[in-house]
């Protein structure tokens, strides 16, 4: 009976909170820039906390409205392989004011009231996903001039000539 009452109370709270009037997140360009830098720095810690870090996929990055102390938390939405080797449903994590990734939650807990990002994911939040994704992208390869390409090809050919008589030499292209 107590569980039923608690469940009903939780449902009513969730229902009422979705109708609550929320102000859009308004941040200065400096706050946004600092938050992007913080969010990018937090991704490696989040990736390393995964069961299979190589399978980590960042789906969204949002900023919460500043709290009373002016701290802006960063919320991540991500996917990663589960124990069965398939992709799990989306999870959430928060980068707190101390630049520590905490509150990593799987999909089943992501939509609960225990998740500090839950209400803000439903509210007007500021998405910085495209800026974080751009900052995490590897730099574009620099184009090689024809003269440099010819010089490298000549070095490789010279190396192959020497390596014919000496099997311990390995030529890299």
Cβ-proximal residues to 161 (8 Å cutoff; 6+ apart), any chain: none
> Residue 137's beta-bridge partner residues?
none
Digits of tens for pLDDT over the chain (173 positions)?
555 454 555 554 555 544 444 556 678 888 888 989 999 999 999 998 888 888 889 999 988 878 788 888 888 988 888 778 777 677 888 888 788 888 677 655 545 555 556 554 445 578 899 999 999 988 888 888 999 999 999 999 999 998 888 888 888 87
C-alpha angle with apex 116: 41 to 63, nearest 5 degrees? 45
Q: What pLDDT is recorded for position 49?
A: 86
pTM for the complete prediction? 0.63
**4 domain-assigned:** no
Kindly state whether residues 124 and 163 are assigned to the same domain. no
Kindly state whether residues 119 and 89 are assigned to the same domain. yes
Please, what sign has the CA dihedral across residues 69, 16, 103, 54? negative
**102 domain-assigned:** yes
Kindly state whether residues 41 and 80 are assigned to the same domain. yes
Q: What pLDDT is recorded for position 19?
A: 45
**17 domain-assigned:** no
Kindly state whether residues 46 and 104 are assigned to the same domain. yes
Kindly state whether residues 167 and 122 are assigned to the same domain. no
Token pair recorded at residue 108: 């089943």
Q: What pLDDT is recorded for position 10?
A: 54
**2 domain-assigned:** no
Kindly state whether residues 34 and 101 are assigned to the same domain. yes
**14 domain-assigned:** no
Kindly state whether residues 53 and 29 are assigned to the same domain. yes
**3 domain-assigned:** no
**96 domain-assigned:** yes
Kindly state whether residues 33 and 93 are assigned to the same domain. yes
Q: Give residue 161's domain range.
A: 144-173
Task: Give Cα separations from 131 to 39, 83, 104, 112, 128 (angstroms).
Answer: 10, 31, 22, 28, 5
Kindly state whether residues 29 and 112 are assigned to the same domain. yes
Q: What pLDDT is recorded for position 141?
A: 83
Kindly state whether residues 87 and 149 are assigned to the same domain. no
Counted domains in the chain: 2
Kindly state whether residues 119 and 150 are assigned to the same domain. no
**15 domain-assigned:** no
Coil, helix or strand for 141? coil
Kindly state whether residues 85 and 153 are assigned to the same domain. no
């Amino acid at each position: 009976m107590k569980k039923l009452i608690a469940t009903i109370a939780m449902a009513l709270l969730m229902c009422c909170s979705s109708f609550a009037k929320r102000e859009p997140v308004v941040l200065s360009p400096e706050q946004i820039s600092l938050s992007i830098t913080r969010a990018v720095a937090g991704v490696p810690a989040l990736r390393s906390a995964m069961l299979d870090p190589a399978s980590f996929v960042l789906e969204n990055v949002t900023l919460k409205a500043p709290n009373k102390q002016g701290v802006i938390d960063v919320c991540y939405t991500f996917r990663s392989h589960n124990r069965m080797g398939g992709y799990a449903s989306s999870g959430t994590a928060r980068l707190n004011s101390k630049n520590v990734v905490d509150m990593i939650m799987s999909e089943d807990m992501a939509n609960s009231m225990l998740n500090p990002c839950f209400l803000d994911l439903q509210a007007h939040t500021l998405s910085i996903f495209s800026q974080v994704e751009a900052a995490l992208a590897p730099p574009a390869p620099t184009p090689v001039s024809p003269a440099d390409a010819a010089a490298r090809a000549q070095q490789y050919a010279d190396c192959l000539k020497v390596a014919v008589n000496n099997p311990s030499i390995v030529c890299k292209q």
